[in-house]
Structure 1
């Protein structure tokens, strides 16, 4: 078997609180294989979003090691982590995090331009067409519905054709119809790009669509 896309060994995350350190993750060990789809489930406050952030290098583990695509993320600076993510990881949040003064096309193309992609706008337009928004490329976020904004966020995450897709409650701000459409799209994009997908969800139906689900409780794998 080839090396896992993610290898986590005894990962700990403690954050400073008013009454002292708060243990968010407490000794998480986990492997995720290439092309696998993994759901992180558990009650609010169980640590699942924090685990996703640690896997994406958006939060630094305070103990243990996190390896992604063979790179030990725990040894990298914030700049180093940002450089590592570029082109390798696509991240979709519950909040869409679109830039309100940019059109859909500009929102998707800008990260590609920053990564030095020469045909950034062509690729961005293709990504928006893939998510069914070819007719909305010149619209601003305020002119779009929540479902459309999440499609733009999906296009932005997938346009670099990353090896890894991370999604944190991607349907949390959407109604059931739009949520189901976004999830179908996320799985389609995973298949199209052959990406490894890790997602945080409260939805048991969505978790069942994944190859594997891990339930967290009190910062540990239950």
Structure 2
């Protein structure tokens, strides 16, 4: 049986505060298969975004083990984690995180250039075309609408064709019509590339499009469907 693309074994995350330790995640065990789409849902503060960050090696578990593509992220140093993310993983944030001094084209080209792709600009142009923004390639983020900025962020995340895509509330800052458009683009591009997708959302209609929904409450796995 193939090894899961992502697996968590009794993962815990405890953060320190002035009031003492705060348990964010409390012993989660979970596996995500290749090309599967998974929605993480639950009330605010349940640990959804923290779990997503652990999956991407952007946060360190304080207990248990996180594996991605057969690699133990818990045992990697920061440099090794950075290389792993560069080569295998992309993240779409709710707040876009575009670089304001770079054009849409330059923003999409960044991960390709970091991977030393000689065709970075050509692939970035193709990525913008895929999200319907080729004619906005030389506009800066401040010249783009919220929906256009999220489409640029999506093109940037998928241009390197990552094995794993993590998305944190990818439609959270958008109006209903634009959110539906971004959702269509996201699932269409993931399906075409065979990428494994894990997304955090409060939108039931977005979670319903995933192969499986995982519900968290108080840092524990409450329900999987």
TM-score class, shorter: over 0.9
Offset, 1:208: 1.1
TM-score, normalised to structure 1, is 0.99
Offset, 1:111: 1.8
2:26 aligns with: 26
Offset, 1:60: 0.7
Q: Distance in 1 between matches of 2:46 and 2:27?
A: 13
2:211 aligns with: 211
1:84 aligns with: 84
Structure 1, unaligned runs of 5 or more: none
Q: How does 1:43-192 map to 2 (within 5 A)?
A: 43-192=43-192
| Cα-to-partner distance string for 1:47-100 (whole Å, 9 max, x where unaligned) | 001000000111011110000000000011222111101131111000000000
Name segments (4+ residues, structure 1) moved above 2 Å. none
Q: Distance in 1 between matches of 2:110 and 2:91?
A: 15
Q: Determine helix, strand or coil for the equivalent of 2:208.
A: helix
- Please provide the CA RMSD for this pair: 0.7
| Cα-to-partner distance string for 1:4-53 (whole Å, 9 max, x where unaligned) | 00110000001111111111000000000001100000000000010000
TM-score, normalised to structure 2, is 0.97
**Matched residues, number:** 222
Q: Please, which moves more after superposition, 181-190 or 79-88?
A: 79-88
CA contact (8 A) 1:127 1:159 kept: yes
Q: Distance in 2 between matches of 1:82 and 1:129?
A: 28
Q: Determine helix, strand or coil for the equivalent of 1:182.
A: helix
CA contact (8 A) 1:87 1:161 kept: no
| Cα-to-partner distance string for 1:162-203 (whole Å, 9 max, x where unaligned) | 111110000111111111110110001101110011000111
Offset, 1:115: 1.0
Q: Distance in 1 between matches of 2:109 and 2:205?
A: 33
Q: How does 1:190-205 map to 2 (within 5 A)?
A: 190-205=190-205
Q: Determine helix, strand or coil for the equivalent of 1:213.
A: strand
Structure 2, unaligned runs of 5 or more: none
Matched, 1:41 2:38: no
